[in-house]
């Protein structure tokens, strides 16, 4: 386990994704696991913390998440840009993308989903909220966050701290066609 990761109070869990980073969605069931990149995720409720993530119905990640009722959302740092692009560009049905790309995972403390700490700024362990009327129609999945942790070098006491000395952990934001921007250059608003 990465020694810089610390638990995040669930009332602050939505802050881990409310700035729109590209995320890695992890899932496992029946001895199989997968990881994929997702550009669309967002908090939808504060208490209990709930999120929405677009996971295409045709993906192996979605299949495993539906079978297990759980998934992980890991927020990769800029140092993982090549890994993010690779796992977002290939299917995991025929290959274990964790093994192929040397991605180490730790089991979540509540649901046991594979979570990525090395190179990530944070993770959320999520219990799928079943939406039977929508599961065959929409790609959006809703989940309750049951555990969260972040690397204290970039997120502590409920707040992001984006600095020059933690560039490798700055979040990624997908622009399309393999192009990403790094979440940097924080501006602090002043009262008018």
Per-domain residue ranges for the chain?
Answer: 5-182
With bands split at pLDDT 50, 70 and 90, how would you rate the model's confidence at 19? confident
Q: What is the pLDDT of residues 22-53, one digit of tens each?
A: 999 999 999 999 999 999 999 999 999 999 99
Whether the pTM exceeds 0.85: the reply is: yes
**Nearest CA-CA partner of 45 in 157, 126, 114, 149:** 126
> CA angle 23-27-31, nearest 5°?
150
Strands (E) located in 46-119: 50-54, 70-76, 106-107, 114-115
> Does 13 have pLDDT greater than 90?
no
With bands split at pLDDT 50, 70 and 90, how would you rate the model's confidence at 177? confident
Q: Distance (Å, rounded) from C-alpha 112 to C-alpha 2?
A: 17
> Does 11 have pLDDT greater than 60?
yes
Q: Distance (Å, rounded) from C-alpha 159 to C-alpha 164?
A: 16
Per the prediction, the chain carries an average pLDDT of 94
Q: Distance (Å, rounded) from C-alpha 168 to C-alpha 147?
A: 24
Q: What is the pLDDT of residues 119-165, one digit of tens each?
A: 999 999 999 999 887 788 899 999 999 999 999 999 999 999 999 99
* Cβ atoms 40, 54 nearer than 8 A: yes
Instruction: Indicate the SS3 state at residue 67.
Output: helix
Q: Distance (Å, rounded) from C-alpha 71 to C-alpha 169?
A: 22
With bands split at pLDDT 50, 70 and 90, how would you rate the model's confidence at 1? low
Q: What is the pLDDT of residues 69-80, one digit of tens each?
A: 999 999 999 999
Q: Distance (Å, rounded) from C-alpha 90 to C-alpha 149?
A: 27
The highest-level CATH class for domain 5-182 is mainly beta
Please provide residue 166's backbone torsions phi and psi, each rounded to the nearest 5 degrees.
Answer: -130, 35
> Does 101 have pLDDT greater than 70?
yes
């Amino acid at each position: 386990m990465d020694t810089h990761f610390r638990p995040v109070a669930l009332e602050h869990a939505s802050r881990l994704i409310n700035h729109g980073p590209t995320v890695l969605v992890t899932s496992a069931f029946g001895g199989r696991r997968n990881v994929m990149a997702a550009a669309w995720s967002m908090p939808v409720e504060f208490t209990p913390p709930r999120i929405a993530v677009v996971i295409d119905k045709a993906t192996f990640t979605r299949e495993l998440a539906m079978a297990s009722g759980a998934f992980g959302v890991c927020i990769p740092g800029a140092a993982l840009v090549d890994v993010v692009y690779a796992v977002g560009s290939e299917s995991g049905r025929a290959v274990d993308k964790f093994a192929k790309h040397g991605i180490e995972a730790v089991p979540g403390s509540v649901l046991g989903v594979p979570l990525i700490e090395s190179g990530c700024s944070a993770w959320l362990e999520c219990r799928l909220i079943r939406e039977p009327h929508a599961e065959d129609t929409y790609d959006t999945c809703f989940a309750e966050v049951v555990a969260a942790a972040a690397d204290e070098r970039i997120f502590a006491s409920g707040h992001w701290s984006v600095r020059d000395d933690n560039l490798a952990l700055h979040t990624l934001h997908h622009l399309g066609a393999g192009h990403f921007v790094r979440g940097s250059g924080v501006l602090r608003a002043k009262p008018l």
